[in-house]
Chains A and B, each alone.
Chain A
């Protein structure tokens, strides 16, 4: 691995300043995605700026009908949180399905969201729950946040500080995992709110997206049978040795039905 300078800023503004002064900087939270890509030389940062010591990024609280989760919160902390379990059990359930115990103990919500792996679990929750990504300088609706494979609306020196998840009337996550990595081959979260139904899909395509035809059908009739006849167009979906685009299209429907059923 190439050498780099390691920074441990003690405030958000120091972290941003370190990034602005860096040649090719990378923020690091838990490092569960960044270290593997650095080992493969897919990322060769001159400067790694640790966000681990920033108290501003920690904590889980309920505020104005939403659960606000600090960006440095680990997946294990989300999965075990009484606040999350009590308000949005589907979110705790999703966090508990990420990777394996070792990954969940180190990997963070903010790191996962900023990394934007197309097979990550959290994007399905952000989209289905209509979450807002809070950064050091602005708020970004989840619908505008994910812009492609490993691509987000974040500026180079912008730091995710929290994600605000509005509390739905009901929600559930259904995932078809890669049996080895536990990444989502397809993951679907369905959420019901007073204003309608939202369906977030991850793993299926390079960019996580909402399944708008499912949403319309479920708004009229919230039952698995309401979407049973809707076929998903496989064009544009991911295709790899694990699953063809056609198979992923099929799985989107199956996972959506399971999630609707689990919503009760």
Chain B
């Protein structure tokens, strides 16, 4: 099936099987391997991307469903090779360890912060409910999001 998908501002026209998952299309057809495939059944959130500006699991979409859509993957966060402020906050707060879940968490937090520019910790944890991290215990992820939102100071203890 012929589809036309805009990913990180660039239009891609490809032919795909209907059963092609969107995450596999991104990774294997377009070479955008920043999007991670974890559980593959809609629990871990590692494959989260933006579909027309809203977070969605790319493992729970067929590529054909994204025909005509505008997608943003983690590669689209900082196209100039630097770091997006959200990524910088994760580095600063040590908000990642192995890093596997991080792209999905970034792509979940990006629209969340747009809609909730001044979140408290409970709101952040609720917004993270669709993303699993097996390393950090979430403490520094939450702290990174607070830093990104500008509501935490840089000098706080990470413990």
Contacts and interface: CB of A to CB of B under 8 A. Distances in A.
Given A102-B48, A105-B55, A4 B18 contact: yes
Given A101-B112, A103-B57, 8 more contacts: A1-B19, A6-B1, A36-B41, A50-B65, A99-B130, A105-B55, A106-B57, A106-B60
Contact of B62 (A6, A99, A181): A6
A28 to B, nearest CB: 8
B54 A100 contact: no
A220 B18 CA distance: 56
A101 B127 contact: yes
A64 interface: no
B60 A100 contact: no
A35 interface: yes
B61 interface: yes
Interface string A218-262: 000000000000000000000000000000000000000000000
Contacts of A3: 17-19
The winner among A31, A35, A50 for most chain B CB atoms within 10 A is: A35
B43 interface: yes
A137 interface: no
Interface in B84-123: 108, 112
A99 B60 CA distance: 14
Interface residues of B, number: 28
Contacts of B108: 101-102
Contact of B60 (A2, A36, A48): A36
A39 interface: yes
Contacts of A40: 41
B43 A181 contact: yes
Interface string A12-38: 000000000000000000011001100
Nearest to A34: B60
Nearest to B42: A36
B74 interface: no
Given A3-B18, A6-B18, A31-B61, A101 B130 contact: yes
Nearest to A99: B130
Most buried by B among A2, A48, A101, A182: A101
B43 A35 contact: no
Contacts of B130: 99-103
B28 to A, nearest CB: 15
B40 A39 contact: yes
Contacts of A35: 42, 59-62
